[in-house]
Amino acid sequence: MTLDSGTKLGRYEIRSKIGEGGMGEVYRARDEHLNRDVAIKVLPASFSQDKDRLRRFEQEAQAAGSLNHPNILAVYDVGTYEGAPYLVAELLEGQELRDELREGPLLSRKAIDYAQQIAQGLAAAHEKGIVHRDLKPENIFISQDGRVKILDFGLAKLRALPQEVVSSQIETRKHITDPGTVMGTVGYMSPEQVRGQPTDHRSDIFSFGSILYEMLSGQVAFRRETMAETLTAILKEEPAKLNEPNSKISLPLEKIVRRCLEKQPARRFQTASDLAFALESLSGSSQSFGSSLAATTDLTASTSNVFSAPWIIIAALTVGLLGTISVGAWYLRRPTTETPTARFTISIPEDAYPVADAEEHNLVVSPDAQYVAFVAFFEGQRAIWLRPLNALAPQIIAGTEGAYSPFWSPDSRSLAFFADGRLKRIEVASKSSQTICNLPGPPQDGTGSWSNAGTIVFSQDVNNKIYRVPATGGTPSVVVEGHTRWLQFLPDGNRFIFYKYENQGL
């Protein structure tokens, strides 16, 4: 169905056609009620001939419309016109990722940036139980300001009913190849999709890995001469290595791609949030912003003073390509007696790799200086590893899956950490764990400190507040408002210091 300029679809007036593909035609339209331009995707009339399919389309479009995330296309409305369903979404200016990839591989820095944004969008959708199932470069849009948008969320699962055959010859916008070659969806399927098995969010992670591989190499990971050969490659073959001797692709980045492309879902990253954290560890702290050391906050009084602790020990983390962590300690103010600096190396197990972003506080030394705890990825997800200084190797702590930003209790007996939308604690000796509280905001970054008075303060980037909660558990309450990070209690157990961002240009 082709709509002429001026055609009315309820409150929307068609202005011009801007694209078409196997799933319908896309138009620029004007929302006369809200006085804004929108995009309208008119789907084939065959959708309306099956009442169950139309019902599912409306339900899933509503689910997609419930997603409010900067890296997901905003869906505003659904309707039908002369028997053809249509979907109303935000109008984007820019180009598909496919258009960029036609010019060759992306620089690693740009690929990581795009990948982080895609992973963050996936994480937001997966948390609401929405799985894309058809992630590919044609469904990734890059706006003119570099913002990544995932398209067609919630609709991909409708593209093939259980009794239907997925064809490799369905036309994808601007992506046409010679007859007999694989095109469109097939090259980005997960192994479980190829087998016709049930899929979940980890299928999206495999497709994501295929896209990241293509961004870095300029080659489709599993493309072969025919559809049958491509499906076989997805099931049984590995794509060529990215980290060749003359390549600019780092080994940690190669590991992330390989983990996404594991044939068994259980060996991939288990959540898109974990994947986003892994990518963030590679990107470093790329934004520049102003920050200042705020005055201390007193939990028992309204007065505050600049911190006066005689010295503070800071742990430094550097990560090498060979999977080692080097640790050092130094004094901001050297004590009166000479104290030697301790330097040593922690070897990471072969199948694990560390989270390298120091901003996330993923390496912490115990207050009694007997242990080093750090976060590393193992079998697709983060966990805390513990290295007693009198031992030769670190050991993973069971029960800390998904952990990030750990911090010690003052007596060095327990570790607190963030995981699964909660603040948790675990006893080092007994390995018994408990939930301290549910996080007030969505899981995203975090930092905390534990006082000798039994109080924990913590913050999250998403809601710009500092909370306090008893270390034994309870309901968190707000202590400070404003974009803050890097909390640290002072020895009196009532006051803490923190950084407050002056310019939130992130």
Active site positions, annotated: 134
| Contact assessment for residue 183 and residue 169, using Cβ atoms and an 8 Å cutoff | yes
Return the SS3 of 421: coil
Tally Cβ neighbours within 10 Å of residue 75. Answer: 23
- Give the torsion through C-alpha atoms of 398, 400, 401, 406, to 10 deg: -150
Query: What number of residues does the chain have?
Result: 506
Measured in degrees and rounded to the nearest 5, phi and psi for residue 487 equal -85, 145
First to last CA, the chain: 43
Alpha-carbon gap, residue 506 to 502, rounded angstroms? 12
User: If we measure between CA atoms, which residue out of 487, 469, 489 comes closest to residue 478?
Assistant: 469
CA atoms within 13 Å, Cβ hemisphere of 31? 15
Q: How far is CA 475 from CA 440, 455, 478, in A?
A: 9, 12, 10
Match 């699962």 to its residue by tokens.
157
Residues 258-285 as b or e (16 or more Cβ within 10 Å = b)? bbbbbeebeebbbbbbbbbbbbbbbbee
Amino acid sitting at position 379: E
Report residue 102 CA to chain centroid gap: 26
Report residue 265 CA to chain centroid gap: 17
Q: How far is CA 417 from CA 77, 163, 436, 439, 445, in A?
A: 40, 46, 10, 11, 11
| Contact assessment for residue 218 and residue 239, using Cβ atoms and an 8 Å cutoff | no
The token duo for 303 is 């007065």
Helices 201-217 and 251-260, interaxial angle, to 10°?
Answer: 140
Alpha-carbon gap, residue 47 to 410, rounded angstroms? 62
| Contact assessment for residue 43 and residue 20, using Cβ atoms and an 8 Å cutoff | no
| Contact assessment for residue 89 and residue 73, using Cβ atoms and an 8 Å cutoff | yes
| Contact assessment for residue 475 and residue 434, using Cβ atoms and an 8 Å cutoff | no
Amino acid sitting at position 134: D
CA atoms within 13 Å, Cβ hemisphere of 225? 0
CA atoms within 13 Å, Cβ hemisphere of 190? 29
What letter would DSSP give residue 300? S
